[in-house]
Each structure stands twice: as structure tokens, then as C-alpha cells.
Amino acid sequence: MSSHHADGAQLLVIAKEPVPGRVKTRLTPPCTPREAAALAGAALEDTLRTVARVPVARRVIALDGAPGAWLPTGFTVVPQRGDGLDERLAAAFDDAHRLSPTPIVLIGMDTPQVTAGLLADAVSLLGAHDAVFGPATDGGFWLLGLRAPVPDLLLGVPMSEPITGEIQLNRLAEAGMSVACLPCLTDVDTMADAIEVAALAPHSRFAAALAGTAVS
């Protein structure tokens, strides 16, 4: 892969403003809504700071809500569009591609343990593959990279199901795409996930936020 390819790619984060009662509701209980939002905010900040360290041409956040002090400089903010998560993901790819018609690697805000090296690998793999796929332990996916986004690849995929990742991978295969796979990561949905991920990234803001809750 040439460095030119990385320079021409973009990283896209799909995220929700960390407002109590609107994020990480599966952590309440045992967390209070405020603690759950603090964990979501820490995971988001860890993710964005990691993205900021990857050498790409553009960093975009597709945001549900308003930006806050947690947003580093250097990100283009686009509002989320659509109803279901499949529509929102497809729209985020579409909007980012309109801003810059270059390869796109999309991640969420639920994997604060992700490293800049893993994201750089994803960008690099798009140099030789049509798509990059990062499976999640819950059966979903934590990363999806597309050299040339086709929103129809995502529309109608049932999200947050144990078979989400399998269906999404099948969609890519049916479209005749060459797909590179990344390691499986755990998304933070439950308290057990939170404890596992904090242990994997002990120096993260997320681990500090978890240590600060009454339930850790």
C-alpha cells in the first residue's frame, strides 16, 4: 500500500451525544443514568482521540445530538439521518462520501479499547480489498470499511441481533466484494462488557470512568 492511499482515506465515527437517559441504557441498573452517560462519554472520547492519531485525510463524526468539549479539533461533524441504525449507517457513509469521494472506514463509540494501529490496518487493507470488516463478540460488527460506499449494502440489515455481522458479511460477499477481516472486539453494551473492556485498556478514560462508578 502506498502512503498516498492512507492520505486519501477517511475515518468516520457514528456516535450519540452522551446525555443521561439516552445512552448506554443497558447499563442502568446497576449504573445510574448519569454514570452510564459518563461511561459513554469516556468511551467516545477514547475512540475520537485514537482516531485523531491515525494518519488519514479526513475525520468525520456522524452525530446524534450536539458536539461538546469531548470533540477534539480536526473532525467534520455531520448530523445523523434516518430512523433505524441501518439507515443511519448508510446515510453516514453517503454523507462522508459526498464530502470526499475516498475510501471510508466506519466505527462506533463502543470500543474504547481500539488502537490507532488497528484503524491504520483497516485503512491500509482498503488499498487491496473492496471492504474491511471488524466482527464483534456479540455477533455484530465494530468496524466496516468500504472503498466505494454503496448505501444499499447496509439498508435492511437487522441491527443489534446475534446474526447482524453474518448478514452484513453475506451482503458484501453477494455484491462480489473482496473482504478483509480484522480481529474480533467486544462492544460495551452490558456491565460485564464494560469490566472486560476496561481491563483491556487500563489507562483509558473509559477504565477511569468505570472505576469512578459506585458499581465497579
Q: Which amino acid belongs to residue 205? A: R
What pLDDT score was predicted for residue 151?
A: 75
Closest CA to 63 of 84, 20, 92: 92
What pLDDT score was predicted for residue 215?
A: 75
What pLDDT score was predicted for residue 42?
A: 98
Cis peptide before 18 (omega within 30 of 0): no
What pLDDT score was predicted for residue 1?
A: 36
What pLDDT score was predicted for residue 2?
A: 38
What pLDDT score was predicted for residue 34?
A: 96
What pLDDT score was predicted for residue 152?
A: 85
Cβ pair 144, 151 in contact under 8 A: no
What pLDDT score was predicted for residue 216?
A: 57
Over residues 147-169, the pLDDT tens digits come to 998 878 999 999 999 999 999 99
Which residues of the chain fall below pLDDT 70? Answer: 1-7, 216
What pLDDT score was predicted for residue 7?
A: 61
Taking the model in full, what pTM does it have?
0.94
